Structure 1
């Protein structure tokens, strides 16, 4: 399975971008292309025309990702949800591509950006789901390990509020007291 990440220019320098993790882990099985409104990527357009290509795009799917028969190449739009909608609308070559969607069993663990869609996944999580659906659990696990190490430094998990400085100090005091008793 080949993955093409059609990436918005604003994503390239963001430390929160997870598309780069996909390319890092999957190597030649993944490529990151810079999206350009005026100049479509010629090689990608050729591959779309040849067939066997699908676009992962939420809510407008022809079918779920569980049925990937005949698909050997998946395109993902690597950007914010708002930018992804615009990229899709402004890219005529994507309009007639077979579409697939995901129905993830778990909520996203992605915690590096605010205002995420409740049912949405980040780029790396989408690729992990597809890898698992196609039986490539080894690369799915490798990507998951890399993804978790990428989001861990953020120090928070989606849906859990950050502790106040006062509660952190109180907890630290209790821990220090317990350590002294030893």
Structure 2
């Protein structure tokens, strides 16, 4: 197996750390599968050699619920695959991770919390989609680099994380409307959206129909902020992961059989 020079990235390292302090093995569905330590897919279907990191005029910081980083089905890892400068920290109810705290106070970054504004506390500053699109226009000319913060957890856990983290309540919050979560067609690879606004993630069951996987949200935020190529590649990489993951488990594969072909075709046509 050949891995990119950017491995191990922040999520890989956080996974190894979390595993090292576990008092017992983490047994999720498919615990009997022999998995790659990086992509967490059945070793016979490993996708690591296919990774093609991209550049963007923005960064991501994942604040991960305690056991989320241990789950093979986690998609936050895919963001770090494509954008190697992605940060990752564990969330704690009673204390703030020092690494995450330093990011919030770093003058080189403009933190932006990606979360539904219907759950915002009264004092939360809100950011509109027009402001997100403006980030794309300004691009590298911005003094502070956008740092998109994602709460990587189940939906119930994410709401808990937000409620119990006052340090998130002063950060500008961006809520992306459901109608904007549909991927735009990419002519170079055909219609990669199929006109669907719902999630294409078949590994887990969403609490609500409109809820998307962490990587799906990140891809759309990239596209809306002027990072079209990085967003497209992350979208296609997500499909590769979803299909190959299901190849290694004993359940019907609802993923896209042409995912790898479409991903590689896009990379060839957009060098």
- TM-score, length-scaled by structure 2: 0.53
Q: Is the 8 A contact 1:66 1:133 kept in 2?
A: no
Matched, 1:74 2:74: no
Pair 1:71–1:117, CA change in 2 (3 A): farther
- Alignment of 1:99 onto 2:173: yes
What is the aligned residue count?
156
Give the CA deviation at 1:118.
1.3
Q: CA deviation at 1:41?
A: 2.3
Deviation at 1:100, TM superposition (A): 0.5
More strand by share: 1
1:88–1:94 CA contact under 8 A, matched in 2 = yes
Q: What is the CA–CA distance in structure 2 between the aligned matches of 1:92 and 1:77, rounded to whole Å?
A: 14
Aligned-residue offset at 1:79: 0.4
Cα distance in 2, alignment partners of residues 146 and 47 from structure 1: 27
Q: How does 1:33-112 map to 2 (within 5 A)?
A: 33-49=89-105, 50=107, 52-60=110-118, 62-68=126-132, 69=135, 72-103=146-177, 104-105=181-182, 106-112=197-203
2:219–2:235 CA contact under 8 A, matched in 1: yes
What is the CA–CA distance in structure 1 between the aligned matches of 2:63 and 2:151, rounded to whole Å?
A: 5
Q: Distance in 2 between matches of 1:66 and 1:119?
A: 22
Distance 1:15 1:44 in 2: 23
Q: Deviations over 1:100-141 (max 9, x none)?
A: 011213221111112432111111011100110112122112
Which of structures 1 and 2 has the bigger CA Rg? 1
Q: Could you tell me whether the CA contact under 8 Å between 2:82 and 2:233 is conserved in 1?
A: yes
Greater displacement, 69-78 / 99-108: 69-78
> Secondary structure, in 3 states, of the residue corresponding to 2:93?
coil
Structure ranking higher on relative contact order (CA contacts 8 Å, 6+ apart): 1
- The equivalent of 2:84 in structure 1 is 27
Cα shift readout 1:56-94 (whole Å, capped 9, x = no counterpart): 111336234442247711110000000001111111101
Q: Which has the higher helix share?
A: 1
Deviation at 1:46, TM superposition (A): 4.0
Cα distance, 1:46–1:78 mapped onto 2, change above 3 Å:
same
The 1:65/1:120 distance shift into structure 2, 3 A limit, reads farther
Q: How does 1:105-144 map to 2 (within 5 A)?
A: 105=182, 106-144=197-235
Give RMSD over aligned pairs: 2.0
